[in-house]
Structure formats: structure tokens, C-alpha cells
Structure 1
Amino acid sequence: MENNRNYFVAIALSVLILIAWQFLYVNPKIEQERVAAEAHQARQQTQQQAENPAAGQQATPAGALPGAGAVPGTSENRDQALSRSARIPVDTPSLSGSINLTGARFDDLKLKKFRETVNPQSPIITLFSPAETPEGYFAELGYVGSAETGAVPGPQTVWTLASGTTLTSATPVTLSYTNDKGVIFTRTISVDDDYMFSVADTIENTGSTPLSLGSYGRVTRFSKPATPSVYVIHEGFIGVIGEHGLQEVSYGKAEDDKSIEPGPATGGWLGITDKYWAATLVPPQAKPFDTRFSHFTDGRERYQSDYRQDGVTVAPGAKADVKTLLFAGAKTVPVVDRYEQSYAIPKFDLLIDWGWFYFITKPMFKMMDYFFHLFGNFGVAILITTIVVKLLFFPLANKQYASMANMKKVQPKMEELKKKHGDDRMALQQAMMALYKEEKINPVAGCWPILLQIPVFFALYKVIYVTIEMRHAPFFGWIQDLSAPDPTSLFNLFGLLPFAVPPMLHIGIWPLIMGVTMFLQMRMNPTPPDPTQAMLFNWMPVVFTFMLASFPAGLVIYWAWNNTLSIIQQAIIMKRHGVKVELFSNLTSLFSRKQKTAG
């Protein structure tokens, strides 16, 4: 069995990892999210939160943020909520919606370039919605002052439109608000062609005493994504907080801890991320700020990522400027990378969950994206990327298959040693090691290439599953979304029979192709004499077919194509070393045994 050791190591590792993903993390995570949501509906605990100050009232006490303006039990539809206040239209190549003049709140945004399904007539994606709706989700910037500053802009402040009519990428808008102490707040909002808003505030002190106030920003949502997140991708709170680095806090973690505070830091960003969309704030980078990721149940459940920054001092007759950035949109890789460079946002590319193998995952995406722009099809890009990866690993794979070939050559000598030493395992082991040394064979040489390729497989999985570029990306024929499972099923004859197949039995055409290629690849080697191992040998392709049926089609296509290339590569190397390719003889013997059994 020495000549099959490497292959079984690969199988065991792959099965272990895939089973762990699917059954130990994915399914329990979904169940955990469901149970947590139900538990929180039953809990009656309340967390203290400051009341909303009305415009003209004194500012919120130092250290506290004004309330988010949540209305307990509201259930207005989106159109009703939007009609409640005056608004500034937003219209860019990528965004449509409006900004609420009450609070200057970003609570109405849709993403023009993305739809809910592959159907081109389906609705475009809605990102932000007013707080009065069940799916409320918004971003807001304001100030925290003292009695000397008077009322400062907050959730209930009604701003005046000073200039501009519609916010476009070419035409910014300017808002103004003057409080009861004569302090003039001027806010200019601009946006680019993609998803970055720039909010530039000017605070003018017309009084006779110095003013000191702090700024804050928050991203708040009143519901979690409808589809619970899975282990392989982070959804929830996110940020890079100065020296604290990357912070990823799940909704469940926030529900348990109520509030997570990394501590004061200088530089960074924070917000809330979904699989493909995100809303993040970039505070002024020169001064420290405090960050908080919270879950509130004070009247209405909500999730909030916020920061508070002190140090805005305005002398009498002087002005002070505060500039904040808001990203609200799709996490497309080129756009996110461009923002990191052009705005000097620390590690902003980590907004996309590249995973532990970042150093492999992102370059692999870059390569696939290059081939996509070259050929216009991400499925074709996957196939070509697979060839490139095979070429990069060719020296290692050559050693692997050469080692397997040499092991087969010495198989007769190994059988003689087994007969000679019988049950004396120690003597047998010593004799085999001497044989390996004599024949210049490294019995574990074939394991390393397999181990090194596992991170590459995971990296490709992340690219296909995480990047928005793969979302709704078609291949050919029935595959119209490489990020979704193959939509066909063997059990309704691939759509010929008019009934839906349960998810457990949803085995599409590409998973079947993958299973066949895996079966053929395994038949390149002799069937193990041990009955248990032989059963594993026979059933492994079937198990993998069922397991990968729920994986993204792009990953299954990669695996099937990789198996095909491996079969060709192994056959060439084995022939070069003068070793018989066992495929056809194994298939012949397998079917002849089945016929004898049937007879």
C-alpha cells in the first residue's frame, strides 16, 4: 500500500477540511444565528442610551452620543418613510436615492449596477433605508458639545439646503445650520462616480467665547442580513482601528457582549459589512478617536458601529474644518484598492475578506481578473488560471508523480520483503527504509505538493465565494452565476421533470462531471487490497459529488478541470518513467467484477 499512501493522505486531508467546513461550521453557524435571533426577541434586558435631543435643545452630555432616532415598533414601508421629510436627490452613475435634511442622514441609497437576481428585470440592490422601516440602515455624522456651544447638529437637526439641487458626481450640495448661540455649521457633500462620499464641515464661531466640541459618526442598521453568514466569510462589524489593527466583530458577538470597544486610536476606518456591500466611515486621520461596535435593545433592536473624536476648538471669530469620508456601496476590488491609495486609508483593502491566505488569494484574483478582461468570461478565466497554477506547481507535481512511479517499480521487491519478514513490523520497516535509500526514493515526497496546493484551493474558493466580480458572472449554457451552485439536478432529469428537488439531493451536471473526473483520477492507481481502503477508494468520488454539489459552480468547474489536467499530467509522467498507467485495466477489472457479481 506504500504506492497509494500519498493519494490517501490527500483524500483524508481534503475530506477532513470539507466536512469541517460544511458540517462543523456552516450548518451550526446558520443554526446558531437562528437561535440567537429568537433568544434576543425573548430577552427583556435594556441598555442605557441617551435620548434624542431636539434641535435647539442643549447638546448631549460629554462622552455620550445622541440617540439614533429609532422609533419603537415602526413598520412604515419605504415610500411612506421617505415622504416624511425634505430630501436632496442623489443621482450618480453608480447610486440613486436621497439624503434626509433631518440629521443630514444618508438613509436612502440604491446601487444601480447590481440587481437582486440574474434576471436583468429584477430590482436593483437597496443598501440604505430610513430608520422608520423594518430594514432601516443609515449613516450619520454629527457633533457633541456643551452648554457653551448650544445645540449642535444631531439626528433631529433640520438642515437648510444652501446651494445645489441634486447631488451628482459633478455637482456637490451645501447645507447650513445656525444654532441658538450663533454658531454656523456649513456642510458640503460631494460624491464620486462610484461609492465614496466626502463630507466637509466648516464651523464658524461668531460669538465672543471659544468653543470646544467633539465629532461623531455612526453606521446603524435595524436588521441583520436575511441569509446568515457562514464561517468562510465575515459579515458584521469591521474596521481597521489604528494600532489595534483589523477588527472583525460578528453580530452574535455584539449581541453577547453588547458593546466592544477596541480603545483609542489614531487613523483607520470602521463600519458594517455584508458579503458584497458595505458602509464604512473614515474619520479625520490626524486626531485619535474612540470606536465602538454595539448591539442595542432600548426600544428597538439595532446594530451600530460608531466613533467619537474630540479636539475641535474654534476661537471667537474663527473657523474650523472637519472632513469625513463615507464609503457606501459595492466592494469591487479595483474601486476599494483605488480608495486605499488615493485617500491613504490604512488597509482599506481588508474591507474584502481575503482570508488567512491573503498573500495567495488576492494575487489569484488579480490573475483571474486579468484573464477575465482578456477573454470576457470569468469561467474561462478560472480554466486558464488553473492551467497557470498547474504550471507553477509542475516541478513539485513532477516529483510527486515520479515518486509514485518509482514506488510502483519497487512494488514487487516490497512484496518480497513483506513475505520475508512476516509480522515482524520493526524488521519490515527497517528493510523498507533500506530499499528506499537504495532506490533513492523519498516515500513522503509526494505529500508536500499536495499540502502546498491546499492553500491554493482555499484561496480560489475565497475568490469565487467572496468577490463581487464573481456574483452573477456567467459561464456557458446553464451556468449563469459562478458564485452559486449548479442549478440543475440529476433527480429531476436536469429540469425535464416538473418538480423541485430537495437541497440534499440537488446534484447538478458539473458536480457529476467533477465526480467522474475524480473517479477516473483515482483509477490511475491500483485498487488497494485492503477491503476497507478499497471501499473508501470506490465511494470517495460519490461522497465528494454530494458535498461539492452545494459549492459555487465556479469552484466545481475548477476542480473538474484540475482533475482532468492531473489525469493527463500523471499519465505522461508515468509513461516517461516506464510505469504502466492503471486506468484502463482498473476500469476493465472493475466492470468485470460487477458483471460477475450480477451474474
Structure 2
Amino acid sequence: MNQTRTFLIFALMFVAYLLWTEWQKDYGPHPQPPAATAQTDTAKSADGGVPGAGAPAAVPTDSASSAGKGELVTLSNDVLRLTIDTRGGSVVRSDLLAYPSEPVTKKNPNPPPARLLDDEEADFFAVQDGLVSSTGAAPDHRALFQAGTTDAKLVDGQEAVSLDLTWSDASGVKVTKRYTLKRGAYVVDFNQHIENGSSAAWAGNAYQQMQRVAPPKANWFKSYTDPAQHSFFGAGWYSPENKFESLLVTDFAKKPLNRAFTGGWISMLQHYFFAAWIPPADQNVTYSTAIVDPNSASPRYLVRAFGPAIQVQPGQSADSPARLYIGPKLQGTLDAIAPGLDLTANYGWLTIIATPLHWLLSQLHAISGNWGVAIILLVLIIKTALFKLTDAQFRSGARMRKLQPRVQALKERYGDDRMKMQQAMMELYKKEKINPMAGCLPILITFPIFIGLLRVLSESIELRHAPFFGWIHDLSAPDPFYVLPVLYFIVTLLTQRMMSTAGMDPTQAKMMKVMPLIFGVFFAFFPAGLVLYWTVNGGASLLQQWWINRSVDRAHEKARTA
């Protein structure tokens, strides 16, 4: 197999990967909710069973919004602004102040912050919590609370700010929800303080949950140009026994979660950002997923953490704490919050490749201060590491190019007898000490790196809206003026002209002529950072091939005149 066939193999592998990805999105399993699906949206007992006599009370399936909104109040620090509905004490909006919703440009210097939680119906995503009791009154995520202030904001000199919401019942039971934000943190410390002023013992359970709608299906153009369309969208959870697991929203009806374990957490993941409930590490919690209103036009996908029983004697009080993360997938920092939280980046089966690539890129960015420069440096490191392999590949290609007149003579000699032609070519390669397989190994090594880098550029929050130079304001989005795809097309065209066509049939030769154009069109819709990587990689290979061709030509001329 010569250099051109190696290039074709890479092209086929790449196209197969794209087709497989698109097939999964368009023809993969979609939810076919059974009639009983909505019934799964109930609280489970500690052993995972459905509540019965003497079991914990069920969590209501309807959302807080169905009971009408209360007052909207805000809690904010320097990086996060939360909007909380006093109806249920639910967090219904979250603005990530350090992450603009659009790239910063001269025309748009102050875009609004990115929003993760949202109470708009089309993008509904809410964080909810509450208490249920089978023996007395308890405020679930539909109860009406009272807020002490409408705007709790971190000010200079403060390290933390809190917002209290209170609810009370005529029986004497009082519950205070407290949300606390520390400076620079995306972690919300949450606590439900239960005071039993009644004459009877109070027993119940605390729960935390998230509800959201699925993203609208994008048109064909956006499905290629928007990296979010290729990102994981669904639930993720962690247990010490099984580590990180995930479930696409399209699989909620097919493979619902219902499991109890200690020391875990549950989350809702989307492109770049996520929200997660993290119960105390020593609590045995039942984690579950469900579909709310599965037969509606916009079903809601729910994940829940249902805590152990809480007993409060008359005149006593108890606390039910938890932590809530609402923010970016900042790798290298999340595991300090909870074990396995770094895995929310969710590179999937490419984790083993993408994780070290992200680490290396981060180190190169720390040196260069520019993610585009870091990508170029990554190319140079990879090219240096694979220099011996690519040197053998290019020398083999250069020698094969010198054999083209002799190969053409063999074609004329054997005509359409392909078997004899192949045998004659192999004898010629053996005589000239050329290994036709020399070009395969570098491609087999660089292809996983290429796909792994695609995942890094698509999923890493650090590269979101990261500028390069000039017209490129976002390396994770396509080049707006297609300059890099055109440069890649030129590099590929020049590389193709240096390749050997020895032994190639006319069909292959025609296919090779259109491959630069096909790849240029493909890359027009890929993240600019990925096209930058492959353009620089192709340019470096082109220079290496040119230099080797010159050295082989000089050696051939020297041998001819000797």
C-alpha cells in the first residue's frame, strides 16, 4: 500500500466516523414511553421500592410552575447570579457572569452572560428541592415560601452571601431553606432547617431534583456548524462502585435509573456547562430518572436524589444539607468538589486520549497565553514524536514516485492482468527495498489524536470563545471567513501532487483529485481550532515531504552519475 492509498484509508475512516455519529443522532433509539412511565416519577424508599404503607411519601410529579409563580428573588456572587422562585424555593435561572453567551468582538463588546437554568418554556431547566412526609405537613417544591430580601448580593469585603426562604404550617412545623454562595464559587451550599413546633414527632425525607426539556432539533446546517449538536445531553451520576455513568435523554424511557448508594451525586449535562446535586458523602441516597408528561409535545426529563428518613421530635430541630453545582466543566478543579466530578466533561470512549490532550494543551496555553498557539505547539510536539515514522513514510513515497516510469512499463506489459501486475510490483518493491506499508502506521496513530482533539475542542470550556488572531474569535466554532479550510485545501492539493501514483488505477487517481476539495468542504464546518491543527500538521508534513523528495532526488542523481 503506497502513500496515496494510505491517504484514502484515512479519508474513509474519517468519513465513516462522521456517518456513524450522524446515524446515531438521526436513527439511534428515541424514547417510546410506555403508559406507566409517568408513574416512575415518584419517590422511592431507601431500598429502592415503591412507597407503600409506612413508606416515605411520594414526591409530586408536577413542577412548581404548574402551581403558579411566587416572587422572583436573586442571589449572586462575583461569578454566578441565581434567580429563585419563592414558589417552591426553586432555582429557575442561572447566569454565568464570567462566560458571555457570544464571543466578545468590537461590534459586540459586552454580550449578555451565558444562561444555564432557564424558566422560558422552550429552554426550561430548573433545580428543585423539598421535603415530603407521610405523618405531617412538609413543603415540597410547590410550596410557597417567604423571602427575607429580594436581592442578596455579594459586596466588597464579603466572602459569602446567603438567602433564606421560610415556610411554616399551622401545626407548628417551620422550614427554612438557606442558599449560600462564596466568592468565586459555582458551588451553592444548601440546607433545609426543620423546626418541629408541633406536639407530635415529625418524620419525612428530603429530596433534590432537576427538570429540563430536551433541546430543539437543529436543521441540517446547524447540526454541522454548531458544536453543541455533537455534545452529550442528558444525565450523569457517580457512585464509588461503578464510577461515572451517563444516560442520554433519548434513553430515559428505555433505561431509567433507580439505584441507592452512598457517596455519589447526580447531574444534568449539556455542552460546556452542567448542574449537579451533591448530597452528603455519608448518606445513602436513592437516585432516579423519569420522564414527566411523556406524551406531551415537550416532555420534561427529571433526575432526583431522594434522601434517607429524617426524624424530628417535638421542640427539636434538624438539618438536611446538600451542595449544588451550577457552572462550567472546569477540568482539573471539579474533583476537589466531589469525586469523579471531572468526568462530566464526558469524552466518552475517547477519554483515554482526550484527557491527556487537554492536559497538554492546558500546559502549552500556560506557556503561550493563546489557545491557537498552544494548538500549533501541540502539532510540533506530535510531529517531533512521530518524526522517525513519518520519515520512513515519506522516503518510501519518494522512492515510489521515482518508480513511476517502471510501474507504467509494467502496466503496458501486463495490460488487464491485475494479478500478474501486482506480483510484478511486489517484486519491484522488494528489489528496490521499498516497504509499501510504511505509510500506514503514522496515519493509524494520528487519526485517534485527530478525533480526540475534536472532542477536546468541542467539550473543553477553556476553548469556548477562545480567540486566535485576527478574524478568529472562537476556536471552538467554524472559521467565519473559511480562510483556514481554504489553506487546508491548498496544503492538501500540494501534498497530493507530491504523492506517488505508482500502481494506482484510473478510478483511484480520479478520487485522489477530488479528495482535497471534499476535505476542504468538510472542514469548513469544523471548529477552527481543529482545522488549524490539521492545516499546520499538513503544512509541516508538506515541508518534510518536500525536503525528503529533494534528498532522494539528489541521492538518485548521484547514483545515476556515479
If the length of structure 1 is used for normalisation, what is the TM-score?
0.76
Q: CA separation of 1:513/1:85 partners in 2, compared to 1, >3 Å: closer, same or farther?
A: same
Superposed displacement of residue 105, structure 1: 1.3
Q: Which residue of 1 aligns with 2:536?
A: 561
8 Å Cα contact 2:275/2:325 also seen in 1: yes
Superposed displacement of residue 305, structure 1: 1.2
Greater displacement, 97-106 / 61-70: 61-70
Alpha-carbon separation, structure 1, partners of 2:322 and 2:374: 38
Q: CA separation of 1:579/1:304 partners in 2, compared to 1, >3 Å: closer, same or farther?
A: farther
1:166 match: secondary structure: strand
Residues 417-466 of structure 1: CA deviation (Å, up to 9, x unaligned): 88898888777777766776676654323211110111110111112222
Superposed displacement of residue 197, structure 1: 0.6
Q: Work out whether 1:47 is the aligned partner of 2:35.
A: no
Residue 532 of structure 1: which of 502, 507, 511 is its match? Answer: 507
Superposed displacement of residue 116, structure 1: 2.6
Q: Work out whether 1:361 is the aligned partner of 2:354.
A: yes
If the length of structure 2 is used for normalisation, what is the TM-score?
0.81
The correspondence of residues 434-513 of structure 1 with structure 2, limited to 5 A, is 441-488=434-481, 508-513=482-487
Q: Work out whether 1:517 is the aligned partner of 2:487.
A: no
Q: CA separation of 1:230/1:511 partners in 2, compared to 1, >3 Å: closer, same or farther?
A: same
The correspondence of residues 134-149 of structure 1 with structure 2, limited to 5 A, is 134-147=122-135
For structure 2, which runs of at least 5 residues remain unmatched after alignment?
44-52, 557-562
Q: Work out whether 1:214 is the aligned partner of 2:182.
A: no
Residue 69 of structure 1: which of 63, 71, 83 is its match? Answer: 63
Alpha-carbon separation, structure 1, partners of 2:355 and 2:436: 34
1:464 match: secondary structure: helix
Alpha-carbon separation, structure 2, partners of 1:247 and 1:115: 30
Q: Work out whether 1:114 is the aligned partner of 2:111.
A: no
Q: Work out whether 1:391 is the aligned partner of 2:384.
A: yes
Superposed displacement of residue 411, structure 1: 6.7
Q: Which residue of 2 aligns with 1:269?
A: 265
Alpha-carbon separation, structure 1, partners of 2:165 and 2:405: 86
Alpha-carbon separation, structure 1, partners of 2:201 and 2:524: 67
**Letter of the aligned partner of 1:516 in structure 2?**
I
Residues 79-121 of structure 1: CA deviation (Å, up to 9, x unaligned): xx8xx53354212111223323332211132121223322334
The correspondence of residues 347-358 of structure 1 with structure 2, limited to 5 A, is 347-358=340-351
1:322 match: secondary structure: strand
Alpha-carbon separation, structure 2, partners of 1:309 and 1:36: 31
Q: CA separation of 1:106/1:402 partners in 2, compared to 1, >3 Å: closer, same or farther?
A: same
Identity of aligned residues (%): 29
Superposed displacement of residue 189, structure 1: 2.2
8 Å Cα contact 2:41/2:291 also seen in 1: no
8 Å Cα contact 2:214/2:249 also seen in 1: no
The correspondence of residues 61-100 of structure 1 with structure 2, limited to 5 A, is 62=56, 64-69=58-63, 71=65, 84-100=69-85
1:173 match: secondary structure: strand
Q: CA separation of 1:98/1:416 partners in 2, compared to 1, >3 Å: closer, same or farther?
A: closer
Greater displacement, 186-195 / 474-483: 186-195
Alpha-carbon separation, structure 2, partners of 1:165 and 1:408: 74
2:126 match: secondary structure: strand
**Letter of the aligned partner of 2:142 in structure 1?**
Q
Q: Work out whether 1:104 is the aligned partner of 2:93.
A: no
**Letter of the aligned partner of 1:99 in structure 2?**
I
8 Å Cα contact 2:397/2:499 also seen in 1: no
Q: CA separation of 1:226/1:377 partners in 2, compared to 1, >3 Å: closer, same or farther?
A: farther
Q: CA RMSD in A?
A: 3.9
**Letter of the aligned partner of 2:326 in structure 1?**
A
Alpha-carbon separation, structure 1, partners of 2:41 and 2:233: 28
2:206 match: secondary structure: strand
Q: Work out whether 1:126 is the aligned partner of 2:96.
A: no
**Letter of the aligned partner of 2:306 in structure 1?**
R
1:368 match: secondary structure: helix
Superposed displacement of residue 563, structure 1: 0.7
Q: Which residue of 2 aligns with 1:340?
A: 335
Alpha-carbon separation, structure 1, partners of 2:275 and 2:93: 13
8 Å Cα contact 1:464/1:554 also seen in 2: yes
Q: Which residue of 1 aligns with 2:46?
A: none
1:240 match: secondary structure: strand
Task: State how many pairs are aligned.
Answer: 528
Superposed displacement of residue 324, structure 1: 1.1
8 Å Cα contact 1:61/1:144 also seen in 2: no
Greater displacement, 434-443 / 172-181: 434-443
Superposed displacement of residue 520, structure 1: 0.6
**Letter of the aligned partner of 1:509 in structure 2?**
V
Superposed displacement of residue 143, structure 1: 2.2
Superposed displacement of residue 519, structure 1: 0.7
Q: CA separation of 1:226/1:116 partners in 2, compared to 1, >3 Å: closer, same or farther?
A: farther
Alpha-carbon separation, structure 2, partners of 1:355 and 1:128: 24
Greater displacement, 438-447 / 546-555: 438-447
2:349 match: secondary structure: coil
**Letter of the aligned partner of 1:511 in structure 2?**
P
Residue 329 of structure 1: which of 302, 327, 330 is its match? Answer: 327
8 Å Cα contact 2:64/2:87 also seen in 1: no
**Letter of the aligned partner of 1:123 in structure 2?**
P
**Letter of the aligned partner of 1:402 in structure 2?**
R
Q: CA separation of 1:134/1:105 partners in 2, compared to 1, >3 Å: closer, same or farther?
A: same
Alpha-carbon separation, structure 2, partners of 1:246 and 1:50: 23
Q: CA separation of 1:44/1:318 partners in 2, compared to 1, >3 Å: closer, same or farther?
A: closer
Q: CA separation of 1:224/1:230 partners in 2, compared to 1, >3 Å: closer, same or farther?
A: closer
For structure 1, which runs of at least 5 residues remain unmatched after alignment?
53-58, 75-80, 489-507, 582-599
Residue 194 of structure 1: which of 185, 188, 192 is its match? Answer: 185
Q: Which residue of 1 aligns with 2:50?
A: none
